[in-house]
Structure 1
Amino acid sequence: MDKDDKELKETTEEESFADLFAKSFADQVRLEPGQKVEAKILKISGDWIFLDTGRKGEGVLEAKELLDADGNLTVKEGDTITAWFLGVSHNELRFTTRLGGGSAGQSQLEDAWRNGIPVEGHVEKEIKGGFEVKVGGTVRAFCPYSQISLRRVENAADYIGKRLSFRISEYGENGRNIVLSHRSVLEEERLRQKEEQKETLKEGMIVQGTVTSLRDFGAFISIGSVEGLLPISEIGWSRVKDIHEVLSVGQNVEVVIKQIDWENDKISFSLKDTLADPWDKVALTYPEGSFHTGRVARLAQFGAFVTLDSGVDGLIHISKLGAGKRINHPREVIKEGETVEVKVESVDRENRRLSLSLAEVSRAAEQEERTIEEFRRTAAETSAKTMGTLGDLLKAKLEKGKK
């Protein structure tokens, strides 16, 4: 065998060996381009992140895909991420968390559409019905308003200039008509987080949340990917008339998980349960016979409710409002919002009830009682003295008769 034949044979054997190795490697991994996997980060080294996909051979991912706006990695070794398989290159399993915003060609965008791989896009400007987004470096695409967020877009300018992950929902005319959805990416992430939170969230837990919207009946609170309702009755110990006076959208709150219903996807919270119960110290703060100032909260046919402190209301019965005169309704004597001085008549801690009376009426009644008592005492003393004088005269007369 001459030299040329020998070199040709060696080259052919090398190529055959490489082909066999690649084929063997591909058979082992059994992954198809576009297939989604959950992978654990084994090591972060320079520009590359090495992944454990649960199969033979490590996967690799470009680290730049997981940098934040300041150029810092958003993950660490040991974290689990969602990635899509691109293929085998140089005997390595190549993955992506999204197709980059660089010079991705039309073929890559079409693959992303067919396989559901997210693509990175730059929101260029607002146009009729939504936004113009650049993907693959130069390719123009359209994202409707309804697909840019999980909620209704209040201010389109907030999205201009941002780099976001999108899924291609429509790919037509050989890439000249591309429709994107950022919402689908958010929904998938929220679903993933919700599944994780199902394992950790329990009734009775205290969690940090953010107010996402306000309604007449309560507030919606978001805790990560989960959103639940804070009923207006659970905001505080006192009665809330206008929820906007207590909470605002974007406000951070600490709440207790009151009830979880994963089957119907419902969670209810309580802000009240994180606050001290004012009735724990009512007997000490408002003992029977003490006087206090309060505000008339509301009127009812049978009396007036007076707020002494947050969550502590007492009732002045209608019979104690007329200063001895019969009235048909409390409004004849008192009005809502008025500041009044009251006397605590009785405390029922178990049933959370305070019986009150108007201080001026109570004082007037007490003064009347004192006056009557003083009159009775004086009359008794006078009577005793009179009887004593008559007795003395009678005794003296009897003694004189004996002599």
Structure 2
Amino acid sequence: MAQDEDFAAMFETSLATGKGGTYKRLSTGDSVQVTVVQIGKDAVFVDAGTRAEAEIARYELENEHGELTVKVGDRLRATVAEGGDHPKLVMRFNAGSGLAGLETALEAGAPVEGTVSKAVKAGLEVQIGKIRAFCPASHVHISFTPDISIYEGQTMQFKVLEIRDNGRSVVVSRKALLQDERAITGRATLESLSVGQIVEGTVQAIQPYGAFIDLGGIEGLIHVSELGHGRVDRVEDVVTVGEQIRVKVLSVEQTAEGATRIGLSLRQATQLAEGTQTASAGADKQVVDAEVVKVEAFGVFVETATGGGIVPTRELDLPPGGDPRRAFPVGKQVQVVAIGTDEKGRTRFSMRRVEEEQARSNYRQFRAKQSGGPSTQVGSFGDLLKAKLSD
């Protein structure tokens, strides 16, 4: 009898442990990392470290066209909707989850899916199944959105902030969810950064001492001294919020408080790009006639006889604080010089360098006349003045 009891105890222990040690026991609301091991007709089976494989409804992992977005071996993060021997997981809670699902989502910090039914001055009314929730205007997006009515009718994901009065008062936030996603992206971006690297970013904010650049979930700073080759009096004369630019990573440092400080340079990135362009295309640059076809906050689009391109705000011939829309209305005829291409492959032009290039061209012609043949050397504007004074 004792032998039978010992055997039963050993058998029970074997069920509770696996090759890698003790199996996990999941509870409703747990957030877990899982690996896809099998794809079925109605469910995707995943290894969650439990005794039996957990499952996720297949439709949760399909896109709007009904196509599966995962494959065997992919790693996912999901939330436990039902624990037990055969756990059921969800990627997000939706209309069918009910109040219990919202409470689980609140506890686990998991996303919920809802449809914006109405936009009011204070925020968005969101329908999550039969439950009406409210998203304050300050929680609609990470950045300020002047007209939140654009979200009406859209189905989006939110994070539950508060449930009161048995579900009669539910407060959700889209901003909190976006911040969580941004933090994950930021960690991946930080791991890939190295000093000297040229990266793309978006101008997020402008201060008197420099510009903050979003590198993808994490921000870096271009100090005013690294914005241009000459003295920069106003940051907004060089870059504009929302403009996409290429920058060079100067430093990646950890502060005493544990924060990450990233130093960037627009000046050195531009210098490197133009040096590469000059080496490949030669020193000669032509001043060409162009017509303004569109004006944006980050630059002016122009069309030349050989194609179109963009003149970034910092390359406009504008006085400090000048308004590009007034200075360069659509249809205005201007002169530009090509200085390279941007990250989208568009030709980048400059207006402020036209006079300098014309001086270089005049000098080349002058030297050609002096030597009796064409010259391939490029002189400076000072050399041209010196030559003229010696006449």
Name the structure 2 match of 1:193: 185
Give deviations 1:295-335, integer Å, cap 9, x for gaps.
x999xxxxxxxxxx999xxxxxxxxxxxxxxxxxxxxxxxx
CA distance 1:80–1:240, change in 2 (3 Å) = farther
Alpha-carbon distance in 2 for matches of 1:254, 1:73 = 35
Name the structure 2 match of 1:6: none
Q: Which letter does structure 1 place at the counterpart of 2:88? A: R
Name the structure 1 match of 2:140: 148
> Residue 65 of structure 1 contacts residue 100 of structure 1 at CA under 8 Å; is this kept in 2?
no
Alpha-carbon distance in 1 for matches of 2:243, 2:175 = 24
Name the structure 2 match of 1:127: 120
Tell me the C-alpha RMSD between the 2 structures.
4.2
Question: Please, which moves more after superposition, 215-224 or 234-243?
Answer: 234-243
Give deviations 1:139-177, integer Å, cap 9, x for gaps.
111111121222222331332222222222111111101
Cα offset, 1:201, TM superposition:
2.0
> Residue 191 of structure 1 contacts residue 225 of structure 1 at CA under 8 Å; is this kept in 2?
yes
Q: Which letter does structure 1 place at the counterpart of 2:110? A: I
> Residue 237 of structure 1 contacts residue 310 of structure 1 at CA under 8 Å; is this kept in 2?
no
Name the structure 2 match of 1:31: 26
> Residue 118 of structure 1 contacts residue 168 of structure 1 at CA under 8 Å; is this kept in 2?
yes
Cα offset, 1:108, TM superposition:
2.4
**What's the TM-score once normalised by structure 1's chain length?**
0.59
**What's the TM-score once normalised by structure 2's chain length?**
0.60
Question: Please, which moves more after superposition, 158-167 or 73-82?
Answer: 73-82
Does residue 1:356 correspond to 2:389, yes or no? no
> Residue 60 of structure 1 contacts residue 94 of structure 1 at CA under 8 Å; is this kept in 2?
yes
> Residue 118 of structure 2 contacts residue 152 of structure 2 at CA under 8 Å; is this kept in 1?
yes
CA distance 1:214–1:35, change in 2 (3 Å) = same
Alpha-carbon distance in 2 for matches of 1:338, 1:275 = 20
- Count of matched residue positions in the alignment of Structure 1 and Structure 2: 288
CA distance 1:232–1:49, change in 2 (3 Å) = farther
Alpha-carbon distance in 2 for matches of 1:242, 1:73 = 50
CA distance 1:273–1:357, change in 2 (3 Å) = closer
Alpha-carbon distance in 1 for matches of 2:239, 2:42 = 46
Give 5+ residue unaligned stretches, structure 1.
1-19, 287-295, 299-308, 312-336, 345-353, 368-403
Name the structure 2 match of 1:181: 173
Does residue 1:257 correspond to 2:252, yes or no? no
CA distance 1:57–1:182, change in 2 (3 Å) = same
Give 5+ residue unaligned stretches, structure 2.
1-11, 285-316, 320-336, 340-353, 364-379
Q: Which letter does structure 2 place at the counterpart of 1:94? A: K
> Residue 99 of structure 1 contacts residue 119 of structure 1 at CA under 8 Å; is this kept in 2?
yes
Alpha-carbon distance in 2 for matches of 1:257, 1:47 = 47
> Residue 124 of structure 1 contacts residue 134 of structure 1 at CA under 8 Å; is this kept in 2?
yes
Q: Which letter does structure 2 place at the counterpart of 1:62? A: A
Alpha-carbon distance in 2 for matches of 1:155, 1:66 = 32
Alpha-carbon distance in 2 for matches of 1:149, 1:74 = 26
Alpha-carbon distance in 2 for matches of 1:227, 1:30 = 39
Alpha-carbon distance in 1 for matches of 2:86, 2:158 = 26
Does residue 1:113 correspond to 2:139, yes or no? no
Q: 2:76 aligns with which of 67, 72, 81?
A: 81
